[in-house]
């Protein structure tokens, strides 16, 4: 896959530079990878500690191990990557679903994750099916106390909401965008009427128009084989990748006149406004 030439990440793009990024899974972190156009080398010492070094820098980068992933940053990140309180529940299963390269802006990948309307057409007979295509009105907000975008009261009928679902479900969703390239959803769990399953998407932007996605699930499911859970989620994501790699432009436009939203796109609109107020440029058409 080839990419056109882009400038390096702008030094003023602090919301991007100072964020934590998952760059691999802890069970087998890659020896080399790329983050924001910068080559990284990953080394595990004899004591088990992992060190990440960026090409052209003397000092190692900050490192964190959380949610089954290795995290790093090119800037000055918060004390720790995104907090997910549900991961402290002892009966939740950690399911790392494999890393997938996508020929699209990482911001496009996050926005696609937030989109309910595509379920019947892209994930037919899994997350949706015709003729039930209408997206019911939901609520979006920018929670300024934590600087996150949330959508609540989301609902969609799904023929197979999860691997463990035996029948179709009226699935409730809550979406959470914790940083420009980190998003989560909380959805009805077929095995627990109170606690939702949690699905996270940690996106590693390798270039403005390319990324590597790391889906991770935190499930209440005692019986499904791990390999089947991974395969189920990979099937869904690979369906998304076909659509994402055919979107034009590959970068995300933040100008509200560039792409006309519908009522179902209110979360996408909130996400783009949030990015614009944070002055995010990397992965957007504003960087050109």
Q: Distance from first CA to last CA of the chain, Å, rounded?
A: 20
Contact status, residue 249 vs residue 6, Cβ threshold 8 Å: no
Q: What SS3 string covers the chain?
A: CCCCCCCCCCCCCHHHHCCCEEEEECCCCCCEEEECCEEEEEEECCCCCEEEEECCCCCCCCEEEECCEEEECCCCCCCCCCCCHHHHCCCCEEEECCCEEECCCHHHHHHHHCCCCCHHHHCECCCEECCECCCCCCEEEEECCCCEEEEEEEEEEECCCCCCCCCCEEEEEEEEEEECCEEEEEEEECCEEEEEEEEEEEEEEEECCEEEEEEEEEECCCCCCHHHHHHHHHHHHHHHHHHHCCCCCCCECCCCCCCCCCHHHHHHHHHHHHHHHCCCCCCEHHHC
Peptide bond before 249: cis, by omega within 30 degrees of 0? Answer: yes
The 10s digit of each residue's pLDDT in 21-53 is: 999 999 999 999 999 999 999 999 888 899 999
pLDDT score of 147: 97
pLDDT one-digit tens code per residue, 109-123: 999 999 887 777 677
Residue 123 has what pLDDT? 73
Residue 8 has pLDDT above 50, yes or no: yes
1 has pLDDT over 50: no
Interval 125-138 mean pLDDT: 76
Separation of alpha carbons 140 and 131, rounded Å: 26
pLDDT, position 91? 93
**Cα 152 to Cα 186: distance, rounded to the nearest angstrom:** 10
Cα–Cα distance measured from residue 188 to residue 195, given in angstroms and rounded to the nearest whole number: 8
User: Exposed (0-12), middle (13-18) or buried (19+): which is 146, by Cβ within 10 Å?
Assistant: exposed
Cα–Cα distance, 107 to 101 (Å, whole number): 14
pLDDT in tens, 134-186: 778 999 999 999 999 999 999 877 777 677 777 777 889 999 999 999 999 99
30: burial class by Cβ within 10 Å (0-12, 13-18, 19+)? middle
pLDDT at 7: 59
pLDDT digits (tens, 9 = 90+) for 229-286: 999 899 988 998 998 999 999 999 998 776 766 666 899 999 999 999 999 999 999 8
Predicted confidence band of residue 3 (pLDDT cuts 50, 70, 90): very low
Asked if the model's pLDDT at residue 213 lies above 80, the reply is: yes
Q: Give the C-alpha separation, 98 to 76, whole Å.
A: 27
Q: In the prediction, which pLDDT does 118 show? A: 74
Cβ atoms 217, 57 nearer than 8 A: no
Q: Is the pLDDT of residue 4 over 60?
A: no
Q: Which pLDDT score, from 0 to 100, does residue 196 have?
A: 95
pLDDT, one tens digit per residue, over 58-107 is 999 999 999 999 999 999 999 999 999 999 999 999 999 999 999 999 99
Largest CA distance in the chain: 58
């Amino acid at each position: 896959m080839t990419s056109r030439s882009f400038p390096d990440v702008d030094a003023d793009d602090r919301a991007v530079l100072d964020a934590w990024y998952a760059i691999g899974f802890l069970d087998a972190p890659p020896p080399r990878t790329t983050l924001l156009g910068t080559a990284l080398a990953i080394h595990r010492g004899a004591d088990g500690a992992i060190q990440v070094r960026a090409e052209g820098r003397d000092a190692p980068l900050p490192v964190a191990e959380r949610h089954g992933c290795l995290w790093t940053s090119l800037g000055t990140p918060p004390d720790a990557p995104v907090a997910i309180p549900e991961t402290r529940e002892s009966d939740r299963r950690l399911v790392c679903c494999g890393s997938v390269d996508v020929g699209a802006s990482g911001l496009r990948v996050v926005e696609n994750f937030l989109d309910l309307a595509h379920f019947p057409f892209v994930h037919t007979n899994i997350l949706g099916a015709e003729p039930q295509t209408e997206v019911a009105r939901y609520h979006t907000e920018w929670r300024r106390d934590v600087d996150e975008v949330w959508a609540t009261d989301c609902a969609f009928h799904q023929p197979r909401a999860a691997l463990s679902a035996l029948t179709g479900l009226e699935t409730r969703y809550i979406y959470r965008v914790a940083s420009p390239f980190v998003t989560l959803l909380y959805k009805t769990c077929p095995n627990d009427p109170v606690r939702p399953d949690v699905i996270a998407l940690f996106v590693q932007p390798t270039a403005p128009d390319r990324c590597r996605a790391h889906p991770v699930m935190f499930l209440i499911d005692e019986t499904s084989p791990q390999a089947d859970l991974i395969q189920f989620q990979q099937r869904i994501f690979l369906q998304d990748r076909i659509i994402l790699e055919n979107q034009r432009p590959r970068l995300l436009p933040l100008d509200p006149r560039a792409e006309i939203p519908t009522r179902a796109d209110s979360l996408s609109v909130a996400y783009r406004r949030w990015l614009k107020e944070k002055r995010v440029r990397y992965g957007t058409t504003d960087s050109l």
